[in-house]
Chains A and B, each alone.
Chain A
Amino acid sequence: MNKRPKVSSNTIKRLLSYIFHYKLRFFFVLVCILVSALTSVASSLYLQTLIDSYITPLLLEANPVFDALLKSIITMACIYAVGIICTFLYNRIMVSIAQGVLKEIRDTMFSHMQTLPIRYFDTHTHGDIMSHYTNDTDTLRQMISQSIPQMFSSLITVISVFCAMLSVNVWLTLVIVICITFILNITKFVAGRSSTYFIHQQASIGDVNGYIEEMINGQKVIKVFCHEEAAEKVFDEKNAGLCKDSTAANMFANILMPIMNNLGHLQYVLVAIIGGALALNGVSGLTLGAIASFLQLTKSFNGPISQISQQLNAVIMALAGADRIFKLMDEVSEEDDGEVTLVNVRYKNGELEEVDRRTELWAWKVPNGDGSFRYEELKGEVRFYDVDFGYTEEKIVLHNITLYAEPGQKVAFVGATGAGKTTITNLINRFYDIADGKIRYDGININKIKKADLRRSLGIVLQDVNLFTGTVMENIRYGNLNATDEECIAAAKLANADSFIRRLPQGYDTVLSGDGSGLSQGQRQLISIARAAVADPPVMILDEATSSIDTRTEAIVQKGMDRLMLGRTVFVIAHRLSTVQNSDVIMVLEQGNIIERGPHDDLIAQKGKYYQLYTGAFELE
């Protein structure tokens, strides 16, 4: 390892800033810790008082009266009681603070993640991202609820003992300071090593998490291919890597305490010898008694220091986790500088008027730049002018795409696999931004439309169906959170999903889990269509929405969708030409270029590529 990853001091600052959100409580906690720590200092001082002020005088009395002693013990009992209460309070409050911080960090992280561009999700394994929410966030728990209070408490003890030392002898204290500096340097080295490995460990956990997630997700494929052994082999490698990092990190963390402890012992011996020598030679007016008590102090000085070092481990590990968390939080969000928003409108005296409830009319609310707005009715006209696009800069997948979808048209994209059909729709909803050219939506540059509003105006049924854990009803309602049960059922009927849903064990209340694993692929597609139908959007994109549905059912679904989208713009992508032939215009794509366009009949008459595809479907030989 040539390069040692380091936790920046920035990480610590940021982490603390989360704790400071609980300023008042945290301050109260510090006060409680202070009291609690002072109580324990007081208790170690009490012994001396007990002997010097009570026992020794009492020994001299013929008839000892214990009233004064009793009083002092009761006083101490009161002090202890206060200390115990403080301990209890700070422990409890710290729990709320720690859990509050963890919650806030998780929530912030998730909220931020929602703003990240699709590209981010394409390039990071899901399991590794998931690890941030559990393994990395967990490292913070112990640090905040235990390490910080203990370190602070130990620090107070160290300071008070240090003051006591100074009052006994300045020179010997100097020896201590020198020793401590030396010890701290060693600590820094060991802690640094362990920090490096903890960072590796967290990264390895993320890696293992990522691998497990991906493999378990594809477990059925693994089984089908009898690929278990190979999957185990890679897992073993990653697992061994994690084990190596974890062993190293823990080893350095474990040996920190014995090192501190025993260096403390050596320091003790050193002070004893120096002090003894000084006292015996009568230098600097040290008495033997003073040395004795100084040595006692040295002992109580080392205790908290090694406690601090013990807690350092938790802190180091937490910082390694925090580092990864902040890295996720620092990922750049999707760019969205659009100002045009989507609103529901109605006509009043020939003018468009914004309304809160749902109407069948939408309009773009365009700012005029002087604080006023104008409304442009949403018609569903989408135009591409000379659009170039590539997922990576080196490889352009769409070339010079110019296309126009007139309002209310049904526009179909056909073409061979990989011709760029899905890519075009990914550009309309701005999952990706174009490299060159322009896209206009009702005459508005789509970059000027707020992304959320742009996407809200487009209902999309994607090629890959993703369902969420929850009832069938909830999954349909995902399209429109305000939809009533009746509306959801109506949408399901439109998608021809109603009959099979009713046959499920609990009908619409059947809980789907594992991405709807109990359903067939076609059934999942029907639910996904119902989900889009309930959204009832002004413009719809159907990307291979019916590919796993048998053609009979498809015909029914299509009729329903046509009725729903009457007068609205619809984009359809399909391989099955029967799906697209009633479209107003069909675009034939080949390797990122539109090579033919026109309605079905015209294209057939042209006898070009489309004709070939179409006839090829039924005349193979």
Chain B
Amino acid sequence: MIKHLMKSIREYKKDSFLAPIFVTGEVIFEVIIPFLMSKLIDSGIDAGNMNYILRTGAILVVCALVSLSLGFFSGRSAAIASSGFAKNLRRDMYYNVQNFSFANIDKFSTASIVTRLTTDVTNVQNAYQMIIRTAVRSPIMMIAAMVMAFKVAGPLAFVFLACIPILGIGLYFIMTRTHPIFERVFKTYDKLNNVVQENLHGIRVVKSFVREDHEIKKFKDISQDIYNDFSHAEKNLAFNMPLMQICVYGSMLFISWFGARMIVASGNDAAVGLSTGELMSLFVYLMQILMSLMMLSMVFVMITMSKASAERIVEILDETSDITSPEQPVMAISDGSIDFENVSFSYSKNPDKLCLKNIHLHIASGETVGIIGGTGSGKSSLVQLIPRLYDATIGNVRVGGTDVRDYDLEVLRDNVAMVLQKNVLFSGTIRENLRWGNAEATDEELIHACQLAQADDFIRTFPDGYDTYIEQGGSNVSGGQKQRLCIARALLKKPKILIMDDSTSAVDTKTDALIQRAFLTEIPETTKIIIAQRISSVEHADKIIIMDDGEINAIGNHEELLASNPIYQEVYASQVKGGNDHE
């Protein structure tokens, strides 16, 4: 797991190495400086030697300045390394998410991806910074202090070593108890994010059903869970400090008692046993050890917390897309013909739960094909196989005579433009949104595409025209306007195949008719597949496919179907009824 994360350090390796090196330098000076300070007292002040004071003082000033600059550089390197590492992690995750197939996207919730990319990365960033700074400083400090303690007091210093297993066992218990709780906490964070996100997206539903209190309760339940879990975890971590103190104070008392006896026994002679001066420095080292232990325990808390986060990050990094371009992809699409050969499909890849069954279909290049069918009859599933948003479970789909799995994905999708049923505009100007279809499109091309999609007129009524800012999700344009913008965006790709998945449901009939007519005259060579509810949207199609419960019920043109197909007749009747009465 760690290995996988480390890959993201990359260009920040230098700073990641420099930081500990600087820190080591800093620690060395931090050991030297107190040593010089006690010298200053012993040989300077106590001896009343002003020269010595000045000389040592000068050395101390130099040392302090060097230590200051080392501290500056270590702080700087650590900041650069950790922030950079976090940046790369976010980048790697985000890039991998961009590789996700539709199936991958369905697997992770948006809220969870968002938490992983921010909160979890921040946790790892903080832990990383701690590791390259504090986790280096503290052990070095501790070892230096221990060495000094052994030098001064010999066997008495063994008491420090006795502390290590006690601490180790204590920390081990704390860690094993808290880690699973932290894992849970971050899952609850996902839920929290999810509730907030759904609330934000559905705020109109919430407000119109006056469900604010219900939402608040839902939120409070989750924030209560976070409260419980976090309190639980941190209450376990609260054993940390007292545990340290027990060790430190215990050692102090131990040293006081045995130290005093040794001093008395030896008659305060350092050569035979221990002197009061040595006892004093032993206490100083003890304090240093205490400080480094405290720091280490903080690092340890950070690591415990970030371990859960790190695992969640790796989950995203490890997720591999199940739809990728082949090794030697076909880079060109000859024409817009489409073939389905014995295709069956299931979202769960379970042959018992098929959404599409035994589809055989041929669509010639340049044809206009309408698809009609009941709610949940598999219309969307059928067309999603063409740009390879999902792979067929059984059978194969061919575009331009070649299996879609042999094409380079980008080539395929650039040539098969799809206007999704649940479509999204992004915050940005209309122009920016349209350019999604073709980043290099000229203004003329933009306007032309909008004219085809019957969007130009209403765009011009906006005060800012094509520079009108679209809010997130397109909340400031009407449903029909949004759909037409989405169509224009798809047209800009100049695709060989254009798929419109119920893309004019919110567009009025007349405009819909104008769009259809524009398609017929302006892009005759493009294969057009139109899923619709309105007969009027498809009646002029070369062929109309009737979908029913995942199967093709019938294929034919308007007249044929009207003459022979009961489903089509019924749909037609439900739409024309009344109309005929008046004509």
Contacts and interface: CB of A to CB of B under 8 A. Distances in A.
Interface residues of A, number: 188
A230 B245 contact: no
23 contacts: A51-B280, A70-B257, A76-B253, A80-B252, A84-B245, A118-B203, A121-B475, A126-B472, A134-B118, A216-B97, A218-B426, A230-B436, A249-B79, A266-B60, A269-B40, A276-B44, A280-B48, A292-B46, A418-B458, A418-B478, A464-B204, A552-B374, A552-B570
A535 B74 CA distance: 63
B339 to A, nearest CB: 21
B45 A272 contact: yes
Contact of B68 (A123, A208, A243, A262): A262
Given A225-B493, A247-B80, A255-B71, A133 B196 contact: yes
Contacts of A277: 50
B516 to A, nearest CB: 8
B208 A418 contact: no
A515 B198 contact: yes
Given A126-B472, A251-B76, A263-B68, 5 more contacts: A91-B238, A223-B389, A254-B133, A416-B511, A466-B201
A239 B102 contact: no
A394 interface: yes
Contacts of B458: 417-418
Contact of A228 (B98, B207, B347, B536): B98
Interface stretch (A20-28, A374-382, A404-412, A517-525): A517-525
Interface centre among A125, A219, A265, A469, by most chain B C-beta atoms within 10 angstroms, is: A265
Contacts of B307: none
Contact of A130 (B60, B200, B414): B200
A266 B582 contact: no
B172 interface: no
Given A227-B436, A291-B45, A92 B235 contact: yes
Nearest to B414: A226
B175 interface: no
Interface stretch (B81-89, B148-156, B358-366, B397-405): B81-89
A263 B65 CA distance: 9
A394 B574 CA distance: 43
A416 B454 CA distance: 11
- For the complex of A and B, list the 3 residue pairs with the smallest distance between their C-beta atoms, beginning with the closest: A258-B71, A417-B480, A254-B75
Interface in A391-423: 391, 394-395, 414-418, 421-422
A579 to B, nearest CB: 10
Contact of A83 (B208, B245, B513): B245
B72 A258 contact: yes
Given A47-B280, A115-B212, A254-B79, A125 B427 contact: yes
Interface stretch (B2-10, B159-167, B415-423): B415-423
Nearest to A254: B75
A346 B439 CA distance: 64
Given A103-B227, A551-B571, A575-B480, A224 B374 contact: no
B249 interface: yes
Interface centre among A84, A239, A249, A520, by most chain B C-beta atoms within 10 angstroms, is: A520
Given A517-B106, A618-B576, A288 B45 contact: yes
A247 B79 contact: yes
A231 B424 CA distance: 14
B208 A217 contact: no
A87 B54 CA distance: 42
Contact of B413 (A209, A226, A466, A523): A226
Contacts of A569: none
A466 B421 contact: no
A613 B476 CA distance: 26
Contact of B578 (A88, A230, A265, A581): A581
Interface centre among B34, B209, B481, by most chain A C-beta atoms within 10 angstroms, is: B209
Contact of A127 (B80, B114, B211, B263): B114
B155 to A, nearest CB: 19
Contacts of A276: 44-45, 48, 50, 53
Contacts of B91: 235-236, 239
A535 B209 CA distance: 8
A96 B64 CA distance: 41
A110 B37 contact: no
Interface string B270-284: 000000100110010
A126 B200 contact: yes
Nearest to A293: B41
Given A103-B223, A129-B200, A481-B214, A135 B119 contact: yes
Interface string B236-257: 0111111001100100110011
A133 B283 CA distance: 46
A236 B577 CA distance: 56
A212 B54 CA distance: 60
Contacts, number: 530
A58 B68 contact: no
Contacts of A69: 257, 260
A182 B14 CA distance: 35
B293 to A, nearest CB: 14
A469 B203 CA distance: 14
Contacts of B199: 110, 113-114
Interface residues of B, number: 193
Contacts of A517: 106
Interface in B404-460: 409-410, 413-414, 417-418, 420-424, 426-427, 436-437, 439, 458
A255 B114 contact: no
Contact of B46 (A288, A550, A613): A288
Nearest to B484: A417
A235 B118 CA distance: 13
Contacts of A500: 375-376
B104 to A, nearest CB: 9
B206 interface: yes
B319 interface: no
B332 interface: no
B238 A616 contact: no
Nearest to A575: B508
A130 B207 contact: no
Contacts of B542: none
B541 interface: no
B309 to A, nearest CB: 11
B375 A46 contact: no
A272 to B, nearest CB: 6
A418 B481 contact: yes
Contacts of B119: 134-135, 138
A250 interface: yes
Interface centre among B30, B196, B489, B567, by most chain A C-beta atoms within 10 angstroms, is: B196
Contact of A126 (B115, B197, B513): B197
A99 B64 contact: no
Interface string B104-132: 01100111011101110010010001000
A493 interface: no
B575 interface: yes
A35 interface: no
Interface stretch (B138-146, B186-194, B521-529): B186-194
Contacts of A456: 210
Interface stretch (A160-168, A354-362, A541-549, A560-568): A541-549
Given A122-B476, A276-B44, A417-B484, A466 B264 contact: no
A122 B375 contact: no
Contacts of A279: 45, 48
Contact of A618 (B71, B83, B508, B579): B579
A189 interface: no
Contacts of B420: 220-221, 224
A133 B211 CA distance: 20
A84 B26 CA distance: 31
B540 to A, nearest CB: 7
A240 interface: yes
Contacts of B349: none
Nearest to A264: B64
A64 interface: yes
Contacts of A133: 192-193, 196
